[in-house]
């Protein structure tokens, strides 16, 4: 049997850091208000150079180095993002040009905060079908480009960054199981609006994030706790056998509610939201790379990825390292 195994991870965070105290000067909020409700203390904010493709390149290069392979060894480049630098060509094709790979497949996926799990699942299917041997999955998000800095309910939540993983065909278990779901009927719970093709071509309305916070909070807790149980149900792995849980980093209190519902120990949960905020699809690969590089995740351990976001789209994945 062929498995897909993660053989390298990488990440990139912009140099500029915006603290809660900085936000106090920009909008009607306080550090205490933000920390109490979200667990966020600061976030990284993209500068002019930190475009989605640039950040993707930085994270991808680190992942390739960790995997000890060359860009030309990659058979598929898949980028997940809700903030592409261009509508076309895809961010993946722009990244392919920068990495100077061969003419491998390259395309983007938009599943919002669940993008990395969607992307890994797609790569896994290509590998299992023997169409490819290696894939590069990169999540690159400039969420602050959507932020209305006068809306304290949303501007405090988001940050920028990119994370990447190299996946390779293996005879040893890697990606063991994944489950993906979506419910488009609830698309208006969280979304961004923009009039890209306005009647007056010289006036384009900027994209802004709109969110029904309370509804989203409740739906996320229910979906994120149930998807973990669902993804484990098709395996012989019990929740007590899981060594690490890496949830989407959207809200500290939400994560705490999810692990409470799962009866999962908090010391086995990877949390980076405090100094990164919500980076959409990049949050899980950023947390994954953090855990790998800090020797938290070790070979042979079982890791569960758990995400929920706009779409609404959610997913879970069980991986053996």
Closest to 256 in 3D by CA, of 41, 32, 36, 43: 36
- Start-end of CATH 3.40.47.10 domains in the chain: 3-172, 177-320
What pLDDT score was predicted for residue 309? 96
Tokens representing 37 are: 């409700």
- Rounded to two decimals, the pTM is 0.95
Name residue, tokens 């949050």: 283
Catalytic residue, chosen from 155, 251, 278, 302, is 278
Q: Is position 278 annotated as part of the catalytic site? A: yes
For the chain (length 321 residues), average pLDDT per consecutive 10? Answer: 96 98 94 96 96 97 98 98 91 97 96 98 98 98 90 92 98 96 96 61 66 93 97 94 98 96 97 98 98 97 98 97 95
Catalytic residue, chosen from 44, 248, 251, 302, is 248
* 8 A C-beta contact, residue 305 and residue 117: yes
CA distances from 52 to 40, 166, 169, 257, 268 (A): 23, 18, 28, 32, 31
Q: Which run of H or E residues covers position 316?
A: strand 313-320
What pLDDT score was predicted for residue 315? 98
Q: Which residues contact 25 (CB under 8 A, 6 or more apart)?
A: none
What pLDDT score was predicted for residue 148? 86
Q: Which run of H or E residues covers position 244?
A: strand 244-247
What pLDDT score was predicted for residue 196? 46
Kindly give the residue spans of alpha helices, DSSP state H, lying in 100-177: 115-128, 152-155
Catalytic residue, chosen from 104, 113, 251, 302, is 113
What pLDDT score was predicted for residue 197? 42
d(CA 161, CA 143): 9
3-172 CATH: 3.40.47.10
Q: Is position 187 annotated as part of the catalytic site? A: no
CATH (one of 1.10.287.110, 3.30.365.10, 3.40.47.10, 3.20.20.210) for 177-320: 3.40.47.10
What count of other Cβ atoms lies within 10 Å of the Cβ of residue 165? Answer: 30
Q: Is position 294 annotated as part of the catalytic site? A: no
143 CB-side CA count, 13 A: 28
């Amino acid at each position: 049997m062929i498995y897909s195994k993660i053989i390298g991870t990488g990440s990139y965070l912009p140099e500029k850091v915006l603290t809660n105290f900085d936000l106090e000067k920009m909008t009607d909020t306080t550090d205490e208000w933000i920390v109490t409700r979200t667990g966020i203390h600061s976030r990284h904010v993209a500068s002019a150079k930190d475009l989605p493709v640039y950040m993707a390149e930085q994270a991808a290069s680190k992942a390739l180095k960790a995997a000890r392979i060359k860009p030309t060894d990659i058979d598929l480049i898949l980028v997940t993002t809700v903030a592409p630098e261009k509508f076309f060509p895809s961010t993946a094709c722009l990244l392919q040009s920068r990495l100077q790979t061969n003419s491998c497949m390259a395309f983007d996926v938009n599943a919002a905060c669940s993008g990395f799990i969607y992307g890994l699942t797609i790569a896994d299917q290509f590998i299992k079908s023997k169409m490819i041997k290696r894939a590069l999955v990169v999540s690159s998000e400039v969420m602050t480009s959507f932020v209305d800095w006068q809306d304290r309910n949303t501007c405090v939540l988001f940050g920028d960054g990119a994370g990447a993983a190299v996946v390779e065909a293996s005879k040893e278990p890697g990606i063991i199981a994944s489950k993906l779901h979506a419910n488009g009927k609830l698309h208006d719970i969280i979304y961004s609006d923009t009039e890209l093709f306005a009647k007056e071509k010289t006036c384009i309305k900027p994209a802004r994030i709109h969110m029904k916070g309370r509804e989203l909070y409740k739906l996320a807790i229910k979906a994120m706790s149930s998807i973990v149980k669902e993804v484990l149900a098709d395996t012989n792995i019990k929740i007590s056998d899981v060594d690490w849980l890496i949830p989407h980093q959207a809200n500290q209190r939400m994560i705490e509610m999810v692990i409470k519902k799962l009866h999962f120990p908090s010391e086995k949960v990877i949390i980076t939201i405090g100094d990164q905020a919500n980076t959409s699809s990049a949050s899980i690969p950023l947390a994954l790379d953090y855990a790998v590089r800090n020797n938290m995740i070790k070979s042979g351990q079982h890791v569960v990825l758990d995400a929920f976001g706009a779409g609404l789209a959610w997913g879970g994945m069980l991986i053996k390292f």
